[in-house]
Amino acid sequence: MKDSAQNTILITGGAGFIGSNLTEHFLKLGHNVICLDNFSTGHRHNLKDFIDNPKFKLIEGDIRNIDDCIKAVEDADYVLHQAALGSVPRSINDPITTNDVNVSGFLNILIASRDAKVKRFVYAASSSTYGDSEGLPKVEEVIGKPLSPYAITKYVNELYAEIFSKTYGLETIGLRYFNVFGRKQDPDGAYAAVIPKFVKQLMNYESPVINGDGNYSRDFTYIDNVIQMNELAITTQNQSAFNTVYNTAFGDRNTLNDLVKYLKKYLSELDSKIADVEIIYGENRAGDIPHSLASIDKAKKLLGYNPKYSLEEGLKEAVSWYWNNLK
């Protein structure tokens, strides 16, 4: 990248969990950051530490509105597109809104980025794209059929990005996120992610409910690994690295039973009574993939990716953050 003071990064969904962490990171590096968010799932409190930073600009707008997208990208050198409606269950309950945001909104920000001639468009893709593919580890070029409306929308994003690369010459990089967790992830709401939700329940001596028998496994990915991938995606000068997708993960898998065991271990070091909280098992959830494990060889080879945080290392950091911010 050229001198940081001359670069402006648009982060859509910048008030969300991943977006606000990216915003904080790039501001610390001295970049100018524009945040576009409609606060449907993001939070103003995620922006409080840098809302007065002269290098930070907040645009309250919606990616479903093309004019908001045009306004947001007009000064941007790079786009980190994080805005989306996440959650498989949400997409099953409301596929229309999920499609409007994740497909129509994605197309809007792509068109605005193309017209503004941004240098590179990096977007949040999803491990849900692997669908019913049973092979492990997941390799970028081998996917199955989607298992939810959400998964369909994220795969359509990849198809649109590829077409915009080939047709209009827009440099794109997609990052297939695998079960990202860490500081600022919201523990509340009907579609809260499992880790912050379980942490809050355990801290309140409430029994977490695991869907199924707890043997489903995931490649849980700490937020700092994701930040590293986004930074590599906008700084790489490797011509072979553009216009493709990358698994963004640690490259290991743990069961939900493993996850709860670690959470109880780290939380009970802070409050011994948490060790006695019972775990409840429920029904499997519709649209869930049984097992998820990423190959990160492609990202290592083409981007120089080197994730620092395993599940255990990331959970120690996350538990500490939640302990200090939820109590």
For 176-227, the pLDDT digits (tens) are 999 999 999 999 988 889 999 999 999 999 999 999 999 999 999 999 999 9
Does 132 fall in a domain? yes
Whether the pLDDT of residue 1 is over 70: the answer is: no
Residue type, 274: I
pLDDT band at 5 (very low <50, low <70, confident <90, very high): low
Q: How far is CA 154 from each of CA 110, 128, 131, 236, 309, rounded to the nearest angstrom?
A: 14, 8, 11, 24, 25
User: Would the pTM count as exceeding 0.85?
Assistant: yes
Does 215 fall in a domain? no
Q: Where are the alpha helices (DSSP H) in 29-104?
A: 66-73, 88-93, 95-99
pLDDT tens-place string over residues 219-246: 999 999 999 999 999 999 999 999 999 9
Does 315 fall in a domain? no
In this structure, what DSSP letter does residue 291 have? Answer: B
Positive or negative: CA dihedral 52, 200, 285, 265 = positive
**Smallest Cα–Cα separation from 151: which of 194, 108, 90?**
90
In the chain, the number of structural domains is: 1
Does 193 fall in a domain? no
End-to-end CA distance of the chain: 40
Q: How far is residue 53's CA from residue 57's CA, in Å, rounded to a whole number?
A: 8
What integer best gives the mean pLDDT of the chain?
95
Q: How far is residue 105's CA from residue 40's CA, in Å, rounded to a whole number?
A: 14
> What would the mean pLDDT of 86-92 be, rounded to a whole number?
93
Residue 210's SS3 state is: strand
**Preceding amide of 54 cis, omega within 30:** no
Q: Using an 8 Å Cβ cutoff, are 242 and 164 in contact?
A: no
Q: How far is residue 138's CA from residue 251's CA, in Å, rounded to a whole number?
A: 10
Residues 6+ apart with CB under 8 A from 94: none
Does 326 fall in a domain? no
Residue 282's SS3 state is: strand
> What would the mean pLDDT of 151-179 be, rounded to a whole number?
98
pLDDT at 190: 81
Cα angle: 193, vertex 285, 201; to 5 degrees: 40
CATH code, domain carrying 49: 3.40.50.720
Q: How far is CA 327 from each of CA 189, 223, 278, 312, 320, rounded to the nearest angstrom?
A: 18, 22, 21, 22, 11
Domain of residue 138, residue span: 4-181+221-252+292-309
The residue annotated as part of the active site, out of 78, 123, 130, 150, is 150
Whether the pLDDT of residue 323 is over 50: the answer is: yes
Among left, alpha and beta (phi > 0; psi -120 to 50; other), residue 304 is: left
Which structure tokens are listed for 324? 């200090």
Does 262 fall in a domain? no
Q: Among this protein's residues, is 150 annotated catalytic?
A: yes
Phi, psi of 14 (to 5 degrees): -70, -10
Q: How far is residue 244's CA from residue 261's CA, in Å, rounded to a whole number?
A: 37
> What would the mean pLDDT of 248-263 be, rounded to a whole number?
97
User: How are beta strands 209-211 and 217-218 bridged, if at all?
Assistant: unpaired
Does 12 fall in a domain? yes
pLDDT band at 286 (very low <50, low <70, confident <90, very high): confident
Q: How far is CA 189 from each of CA 29, 41, 46, 85, rounded to the nearest angstrom?
A: 33, 10, 16, 13
pLDDT at 4: 46
In this structure, what DSSP letter does residue 145 have? Answer: -
**Smallest Cα–Cα separation from 305: which of 215, 223, 231?**
231
pLDDT band at 40 (very low <50, low <70, confident <90, very high): very high
pLDDT tens-place string over residues 47-76: 999 999 999 999 999 999 999 999 999 999
Does 206 fall in a domain? no
